[in-house]
Every structure is written in C-alpha cells, then in structure tokens.
Structure 1
Amino acid sequence: MVKSSQITLSSLRKIPLSYASCSIGKVTDSLTQRLEAITNAGFTGIELSFPDIKQYAEQLLDKKVGPDDYEDLCRAAQEIGKLCQQLNLEIMMLQPFANFEGWPKGSPEREEAFSRAKHWIDLMKSCGTDLLQVGSTDSSAEEKITTDRNEIVKDLQELADVLAKENFRIAYENWCWSTHAPTWKAVWEIVQQVDRPNVGLCLDTFQTAGSEWADPTTTSGLIEEVSKPELEKRWKNSMEELASTIPAEKIYLLQISDAYKPKTPIERKIKNDLLPRGQWSHDFRPMPYDGGYLPIEDVTKAVLRTGFRGWFSMEIFDSGPDGTGKEYNVGKFAQSAMENMQRIFKNVADTSS
C-alpha cells in the first residue's frame, strides 16, 4: 500500500467527526442535552457508551436498571438510536467492552464474558451500530486473566467470528495500563495474529503517548527509565514505525484527547481497581490545547501518514488539573471541542489547502 506522503488540509476537512457520549457534560446533564450539544457543535457521530444506555433506561422506565437487565437496556438503546436519527448523529461505535479476553477456559468469568458479548451484540442491533470497541484487558485486579498472547488471540478470533455473523466489527484499543497490550504496536501485532477482516484498531492519542512517552508517577511526568534524549529518539522511531507499517484500512478510528501532568505524581499502587495510568486516564484527560502536555500532534500525524482519513472522535475525561472535578456549560464545551479539533487539523497539515 502507498502511504500518504503529504497531509493536505483539504483532505482533513473531509474527516468525519465524532464525540464519545460518556465524555461530555455533568451527571445532571441528560443524554438528550449532551447529544444536542454534540450535534449543534458540528459533530456528525457519537461513540455510545454503555453507562449512558443504562442511565437513559432508568430515565425512560423510571426505575433502577441493572447492568445485566438487557431487555430494558435494549429498549433504551433503540430509543437512543431514534433520538440520534432525529439529531442527524450516527452511532459510530458502542463502547467500552472491557475485561473480555484472557479468562481461563471453562471458568465462570469466561462464560460471563462471552454471554456479555452476545448481549452487547443485541445492544448494537438495537441502537444501530456495527462497531464494538474492545479495550485491551487490564488484569491488575484479576490474577486469573492470562497475558498469554495465543490465548488472547483465540478469544478475539472467537468474538470476531460471532460478530461477523451480523456483519459487525471490532475496534481493538491499547489501554496504556493494560497488562498485555499497552502500546499501539502490541495491539497491532494482536490484530495481525487475529487475522480477521472485521477486526481493526481503535487508536488513541492519549493511550499511545501515555504508554510510550509519559508516566504520571514521576515528577517530570515522563518515562524516566531512560534519558530524555533516548526517550525522544524512541518516541520518534515509534511514530515513524506506526506511520509506515499499519494499513489505513485496519484503522477504524482515532480518539483524541490530551493529559494533564498530575500536580503530585500518582502513587505507584492500585486504587479503585486501577493501576496508576488507569487512574490518570479516568480523570486527567482534557481536550487538545487546554492544559495538557502530551505530544498528541505526533500521534495524529503518524496516523494520518498511513493514509487514514476515517473517524476522528473526541474522548475527554476532564476533572481539572487536580482531578477533583470541573464545572462547565455543556454547549460551550462541545463548541470548544470542535474548535480544538479544527486547530489540530491546521497544526498537523503539511499544506494550508
């Protein structure tokens, strides 16, 4: 495949833009308010999050709805699909499907994971999407989960084959705190081994830079196991390798967010079942150009140099620089997100036309 040697601004203007429904607004903002803000800001798609389906089901049915009350959840997903149609929003993906791969054969956890997958397929049918995000497993709190690459691949192959029966796809994402695939290269190797036409990548500016360049547990906020020049050299080489090795058609989307450098380094211990980078991801992710410090333009350029011009999706978890919370107007926030999405396009383009 011929890689794109030049990133033209005109090609970036055609990129479809999405927003993750879980990453905008306050608890008091209804899903309808958030979706209206997203569409009014000019986004044309959303990543629909499972917690939003659950919340909407409780509002719709005026009762508590459990995470496995799938009849009620599917009803809510169907209504969300109708709402998105009215707002001219495509439900680009359902997310986040987590802790799926790597459970021991015959274990109740593995049975639950595959049962959950079938129910999530029902949710996909109900809301009208064909793409499922699967996050690379974090086994920090689950010693039973294997990091054996062959077992991981087999589980994903089995899931892919189940999804293929519905013409559905998997977008596999590296989570920077994953115990078996924290980097873009690790998930790309897995996707290659899975070797299914309906399995591709969900790449992410935060997850990529957060695994290979930054470290929230250090004073500098950078990986300190190597010197700064060596870190920069490795980072540059990694981005060049990404740009030259991944076929554009195997990238399904690029998620966009930055990260605050924690004012006090995050302790190197598990908290709320999350490793330090997981804690960082949960609360310290602003939109681009809003106080973060990651080299997200490097990631964006590398992805674009593959020739990819598919979905860009804003996924922000911004609880402020200290991670304790942030108040904002949902409509203005969505507009700022769009402005900063356009700013990143201008900054990474090689040409102004």
Structure 2
Amino acid sequence: MPIPWPPAAVPNELGTATLSLGNAQYHTLQPRLEEAARAGFHQIDLFDECWAAYLEEHGLPGDQLWEATADNLRVARKLGDLVRSLGMRIACTQPLRKIEGIKDPAERRATLDLVAQRFPFMRAFDTDLVFMCASIRTDAGVTSDLKTVAKDLAELGDMAKAYSEADGGRMLRIGYEGLSWATRNTWASSWEAVRMANRPNVGLIVDAFNVLAVEFADPYNPAGHGRIYPTLQESIDVLCASLAGLVASVPGDRIFFFQVGDAERVDPKTFLPPTDPDVPVLLPWSRGHRLYPLEVERGGYMPVHLVAAAVLATGYQGPMSLEVFNNSLNTSGADVITTHARRGIEGLRKLAQVVQEVPAFWEMWQQGTREFRTIRTGRL
C-alpha cells in the first residue's frame, strides 16, 4: 500500500555507482571511494568495469573478474574492507547482461551459471544484491516470452537461495531492470516478469533515466524540446498515468534498488541518431549525456522528481543511488572525481527535498483526475 503523502522526511540513504565518479580507464577506484565518503555518500553500487580495473591494479587479470580463485576473493575482501573503513557499504554489484530468455538448453544453463559465479564475490564484498538489465538480444536464439523470462528469474532466485542456505549467510537477491533499449524496456514489463517469477528474493530495479527515456523523452525529436509529445502538459499526463500504476501495483519491498539520473536536452540538428544498426538509438545519449538530478543549469530537463516521488510512495526504503554516464567523466585529473562527487551529492539532496513538494498524483489518477496541472513546477 502507498505510504501517507507527503512524507515528513526522506530517510533513504544516498548512494552512487562507482562509474558515476569517474571512468575506470582514467581513475582508480580507491580515490573515487574516498571522495564519495567525504562527499557524504553511504552506499556504493559497484560496476563491473571498476571491479575489473581494481583486480588489475593488484596484478590480477581483469577479464577473469568472477573466477573464484583465492587471489581474486582475497582482493574482493580487501575492497569490501576498504569500503566499510570509509563508513560506506557496497549495496550491489552490476550489471548482468543478456541473461534471460535463451532458448538453447546448454547455452541457457551456462549463462545462468555465470550469474552464480558472482555469489562468492558478493559474500566477499559483503553485499546481497546483484542485478541484471533486461536482455537486448533480438536474434532467433532468445525470446522475451513472459513465461520463459519469469522461469529464468525464478531459477536464478532459487540458485541464490540455495547458495545462501548452504553457507548460512543472508539471503542473496536478484534484481531485474527494464533497460530503455531492451525488449522489456518499461518498469511495467519488468515488473510483470518479477511478479510472475514469484520469488521473494527476486525484485524490481527502477532506474529513473530508463523510465523517462521510454515514457517521457525523445532526444531526437526535431522540434528540439526533447520530449515524445509536443506539449509538456501531455508529456506529464502520460508519465504520471504510468507512475500511478507503479504506486498502485508494486509493493515497496519488491523494489530492490532505485537508480537516479537526469539527462541533457540535446540539439537534434547536431546530435543525430547512430547510423550503425547494431548500436541502440538511445545508447549515445545515455552513455554521454546523463546528468545528476535536477541539473537544469546544465541542460537537465527530465522530471526525475516525479519518478522518485512515485518510488518512495510505494514504501521503498532502499537507497537513492546515482547512475550517471557522461563524457565529462571520461577525462583524467583528480578534480574530475571531486567535482562529480560534489555535483552528485548536491543533486541527490536537492531531489530528497523536492520530492516532498510533489502532490500525490497517483491519488488524483485513481479519482479520475487525468490532467495533473499541479505537477508542473519551475523545475520542469
């Protein structure tokens, strides 16, 4: 059930993906973690590339990042100890890609077993959550059929449960996220698979950028406003109708993680779609032009606060965690880490304040009020 709104406070801890403070190619992991702690973050989302680079810093092969050798696990425990010593914790590790819906039994088995290879590392990191993006494969070897995807999620949940029961540790969890260029690209299509999997340790990952990239934004719209619909009001109406469904149908404890990111309004005259058919249309925008929440002064324009309000209204109690890719992170210099950590924590703190000003639009929808005119604020 949705919680009473507005909340008296937003108690959710603030986190960041390691990649959102600097690209591993230019910035080693420890300075990013130290700066995250200084900035005030409490949770870390460990990205695979950052973990691979950390292994290489310790003289180990980064392309074998989930091989449970004694050396790899020793370095994993060292990383977990480092994060704890800074007063933070590793909330999750990600991303798993192209996992579900594989038709060939042998390939399916091998792919699911790749997920299980992470379990010993999750113990070493002292985290209980790993999550996967919905598959972007469209070849004949995969299917997005609901029953098939749900069966795969259920089996992953069972594998995580069996591992947890065998070692006596806390229950390991599997999260599932709708990627904006995947076949299952909405919170609703991801949720139906999680719901049908029917495992308590399989839950939904909500990423504000991916929600908005499908249900609000179109960076290539020739009109230049960056939206799907011509008017802001229609765009907000459509988005709020979807988010009202999220509040009504998804219990807060079934959302395992909430990622936050805005994006820059680009000029469609110069920012053109990729010509390579193998590159998803939204990928260049996602990888190079995300922003921290509510960075209007940098061109941010997406209503991240509406997604955040809906997620919190479900009763979700986990972290609000940044996942921001931007070309500005792909440069060297210590100031890159410091600047982005400051921008990130400021954006999250501002978001925590702004969501309390959002009216309970999900209740308006239930009452048949289809035009959410009170939602429009100076932040849109």
**TM above 0.5, one fold?**
yes
For 1:247, give the aligned amino acid: P
Partner of 1:127: 125
Residue of structure 1 equivalent to 2:291: 286
TM-score (norm 2): 0.83
Q: In the TM superposition, what is the alpha-carbon distance from 1:15 to its structure 2 partner?
A: 1.3
How many positions carry a matched residue from both structures? 340
Residue 16 (structure 1) aligns with: 13
Structure 1 distance, partners of 2:285, 2:81, is 35
Tell me the residue number matched to 1:77: 76
Secondary structure of 1:66's aligned partner: helix
Q: Which amino acid aligns with 1:100?
A: I
Aligned to 1:337: 344
Aligned to 1:66: 63
Residue 45 of structure 2: aligned partner? 47
* Stretch of structure 1 that moved more, 69-78 or 258-267: 69-78
Q: Aligned partners of 2:161, 2:54: CA distance in 1, in Å?
A: 28
Instruction: Provide the TM-score with structure 1 as the length reference.
Output: 0.89
SS of 1:317's equivalent in the other structure is coil
User: Is the deviation greater in 261-270 or in 310-319?
Assistant: 261-270
Residue 98 of structure 1 aligns with which residue?
Answer: 97
Partner of 1:194: 197
Aligned twin of 1:207? 210
Partners of 1:318 and 1:326 within 8 A in 2: no
Amino acid of the residue matched to residue 218 of structure 2?
D
Structure 1: how far apart are the matches of 2:20 and 2:308?
Answer: 20
Deviation sequence 1:274-295 (CA, Å, 0-9, x none) = 3112332222211113222211
The residue identity in structure 1 corresponding to 2:188 is: K
* Residue pair 2:51, 2:65 contacting (<8 A) in 1 also: no
For 2:61 and 2:124, the matched residues in 1 are separated by 20
Q: Which residue of 2 aligns with 1:315?
A: 323
Kindly indicate whether residue 354 of structure 2 is the aligned counterpart of residue 347 of structure 1. Answer: yes
State whether structure 2 residue 241 is matched by structure 1 residue 237.
yes
Amino-acid identity (%): 28
Report the 3-state secondary structure (helix = DSSP H, G, I; strand = E; otherwise coil) of the residue aligned with 2:45: strand
Instruction: Choose the corresponding residue for 1:115, options 113, 116, 123.
Output: 113
In 1, the alpha carbon distance for the partners of 2:256 and 2:32 equals 24
Structure 2 segments unaligned to the other structure (5+ residues) = 165-170, 359-380
Unaligned residue ranges in structure 1 (runs of 5+): none
Per-residue deviation at 1:68? Answer: 5.6
Closer, same or farther: CA 115–266 of 1 in aligned 2, 3 Å = farther
2:237 maps to a residue whose letter is: K
User: Following TM superposition, by how much is the alpha carbon of 1:336 offset from its aligned partner in structure 2, in angstroms?
Assistant: 2.0
How far apart, CA to CA, are the structure 1 residues paired with 2:42 and 2:330? 31
Contact 1:252 1:311 survives alignment (8 Å):
no
Change (3 A) 1:270 1:125: farther
Superposed displacement of residue 325, structure 1? 6.5
- Which residue identity does 2:348 align to in structure 1? M
Q: Is the 8 A contact 1:99 1:136 kept in 2?
A: yes
Structure 1 position 213, deviation (Å): 1.0
Task: Give the 3 Å change call, closer, same or farther, for CA 241–325 of structure 1 in structure 2.
Answer: farther
Note the C-alpha offset of 1:7. Answer: 2.4
Q: Tell me if structure 1 keeps the 8 A contact 2:187–2:206.
A: yes
* 2:364 match: none
Note if contact 1:270-1:276 (Cα within 8 Å) is conserved in structure 2. no
